[in-house]
């Protein structure tokens, strides 16, 4: 199982995937908002989403797990 971690602290602006969804490498999984800027978080490799660990509006720190892959 792989994890996708947040590259920076911020608030979750949108969650762009659903549990069970097959995503491609480079696909935008979430968009964070940090310092008034929207930052897309992309999947590093292709895979199926196992869990989504942050919801819209949540504050996340750098290194927090955003989603896990099966």
Partner 1 sequence: MKKVLIANRGEIARRIIKTCKRLNIETVAIYSEADKDLPYVKEADYAFEIGPSQVQQSYLKVDDIIALAKREKVDAIHPGYGFLSENADFARKAEAEGIVFIGPSPDTMEKMGDKIESRITMINANVPVVPGTEAGLASVEDAITAASSIGYPIMLKASAGGGGIGMIRCDDEETLLKHFESIKTRAKSYFGSDVVFLEKFIDSSRHIEVQIFGDTHGNIVHLFERNCSVQRRNQKVLEEAPSPNFPQEAREKLWEAAVNAAKAVNYINAGTVEFIVDHNHQFYFLEMNTRLQVEHPITEAITGFDLVEWQLRVAAGEELPVRDQASIKSNGHAIEFRIYAEDPKTFFPSPGTITVQNWETDEDVRIDAGYAEGDKVTPFYDPMISKVIIHAENRKLAIESAQKVFSSAKIEGVKTNIPLFQQFLDDESFISGEYSTSVLGEWMDKQREEVSK
Of 1, 13, 6, 10, the closest CA to residue 55 belongs to 13
Q: Is 55 in the site for partner 1 (CB under 8 A)?
A: no
- Of the residues 19, 28, 45, 59, which one makes contact with partner 1 according to CB under 8 A: 59
Name the one residue in this structure whose structure tokens are 């989603």: 67
Q: Which stretch binds partner 1 (CB under 8 A): 18-26, 30-38, 42-50?
A: 30-38
Residue 28 binds partner 1, judged by CB under 8 A: no
Instruction: Give every strand in the sheet of 2-5, ordered side by side.
Output: 2-5, 65-69, 47-52, 22-23
**List of residues contacting partner 1 (CB under 8 A):** 8-11, 34-37, 39, 59
């Amino acid at each position: 199982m792989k994890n996708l971690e947040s590259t920076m602290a911020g608030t979750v602006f949108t969650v762009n995937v659903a549990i069970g969804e097959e995503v491609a490498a480079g696909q935008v999984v979430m968009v964070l908002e940090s310092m008034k800027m929207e930052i897309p978080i992309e999947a590093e490799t292709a895979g199926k989403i196992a869990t989504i660990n942050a919801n819209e509006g949540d504050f996340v720190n750098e290194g927090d797990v955003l989603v896990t892959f099966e």
